[in-house]
Amino acid sequence: MAKFEIHYGTGETFPFELPEEQVLWQQTGPQPQTNVSGAIEAALATPLDYPPVSDAVVPGDKVTLVIDAGTPAWEEIIRAIGKQLESRGVEAEMLHVVLNGTEADAARSTDVPYKVIAFDEAMQGRSVYLASTAEGQRIYLPEEIGEADYVITIGRFGFDDRWGYRGTNSTVYPAFGGEEAQSRFSGQGSQELSPDQSFGVRQMIDEVGWLLGLQFSVQVIPSGSGKLAHVIAGASDSVYREAVSRLNSSWRSSVAEPAETVIVSVPSLESGDAWVSAARACRVAEKLVSDDGRVLLVTDLKDFPEGLQEAIQASGDSDEVMRNLNRSKSPASRAVATLAGLASRYRVYLLSRLEQDIVENLFCIPLADTDELRSALQGGTSYAILDGGQFAWVDTEN
């Protein structure tokens, strides 16, 4: 018997054993850094194709750090960058942090010695006109971003089922582009195209980055446990290319044969929508499972999206539930629809902290604890193991 371990929730692990000859495929991602602060300092000291960020500013500059709250170790990155900027004469009062996260996320950033503006506060404030794209799309951004002298993007670099790769310029747009941008770039997401075939959508994101004058970026690639594994800093274009290379090396693989049993874990990020993460893991799992197979989804989901219970309680008819969920275009509704859709096509066992009736209304088989998970895992004829399912990309060979 071979030993395995996956990560889920906030620091939870699940060790298990399987017959080695039955494991067809395994993906665990890169190992987390043992010295996170040292890795951040090293990346900032030797940025790619760009001088240290402190050389890009002058005293009196208004600097804005735009951050994806799902970025591992983002608070440590802010402190390290702030130290460099202050050494150059940028006053702490002139350094703002605009966080693509909730007020609760901002409130937790007690170790950040700068003003932290959460997403809702930024979007409810004054917006400024940036420019029009080549297609004539007028771009508006929150004033903290649009009127800054210097903007630095900080984010988790990863695969995106809508525009190929997320990170660098997408930390600003469409994230802070308003309802029109969100509507234009949102969608259920698909893995029918590879990340490298989504150039047209990504091109507009990078055009907005160019219009804003984005030059410096810090991007993080997570480990299977959701911790910082790689950190890359420097010129935005160079960081993007290097991050694509490292992400594909760390998190992209191919599978020749689907497995009868797929076990996929969803670790919680420091912030971010757990349902969106679970939905992406579902889309990856579907590429690994055989037609008559089953998926064991290992999560720490505990809060069902507000306002969606009625949509899943209407009947036991999967088509009706999917129609109800698809009437809403919210990310939460799309995420729930992804899980329910997977469970309507395959047997899905869900480890979570959700109420049992909610899990069953999503057509999943509820698992109350890891003992039940261990029992459900037995009896498979072949296995695929994916640790950190929301971070991966799988290419099928058939």
Q: Are residues 292 and 366 in the same domain?
A: yes
Q: What is the distance between the alpha carbons of residues 56 and 74, in angstroms, rounded to a whole number?
A: 21
pLDDT digits (tens, 9 = 90+) for 2-19: 999 999 999 999 999 999
Q: Does a structural domain hold residue 150? A: yes
Q: Does a structural domain hold residue 223? A: no
Q: Does a structural domain hold residue 259? A: yes
Q: Are residues 141 and 264 in the same domain?
A: no
pTM summary value: 0.93
Provide the residue range defining the domain that includes 360.
2-30+253-396
Predicted pLDDT at 214: 96
Q: Which residues pair with 63 in a beta bridge?
A: 95, 150
| Cα 143 to Cα 121, 140, 349, distances in angstroms | 11, 9, 46
Q: Are residues 187 and 328 in the same domain?
A: no
Q: What is the distance between the alpha carbons of residues 262 and 368, in angstroms, rounded to a whole number?
A: 19
46 pLDDT above the threshold of 70? yes
Domain holding 382: CATH number? 3.90.226.30
Q: Are 155 and 171 in contact, with CB atoms under 8 Å apart? A: yes
Q: Are residues 71 and 10 in the same domain?
A: no
| Cα 80 to Cα 10, 53, 54, distances in angstroms | 25, 11, 11
Minimum mean pLDDT among 29-33, 100-104, 287-291, 357-361: which range?
Answer: 100-104
Q: Could you tell me the sign of the dihedral formed by the alpha carbons of 319, 191, 294, 392, in that order?
A: negative
Tell the burial category of 22 from Cβ atoms under 10 Å away from its Cβ (0-12, 13-18, 19+).
middle
Looking at residue 269, the DSSP 8-state letter turns out to be P
Q: Are residues 261 and 175 in the same domain?
A: no
Predicted pLDDT at 260: 98
Q: Are residues 272 and 208 in the same domain?
A: no
| DSSP-H helix ranges across 109-174 | 119-124, 143-146
317 pLDDT above the threshold of 90? no
Domain count along the chain = 2
Q: What is the distance between the alpha carbons of residues 40 and 55, in angstroms, rounded to a whole number?
A: 18
Predicted pLDDT at 199: 59
Closest by CA to 312, choosing from 293, 303, 325, is 325
Domain holding 138: CATH number? 3.40.50.11440
201 pLDDT above the threshold of 80? no
Q: Are residues 343 and 274 in the same domain?
A: yes
Q: Are residues 9 and 59 in the same domain?
A: no
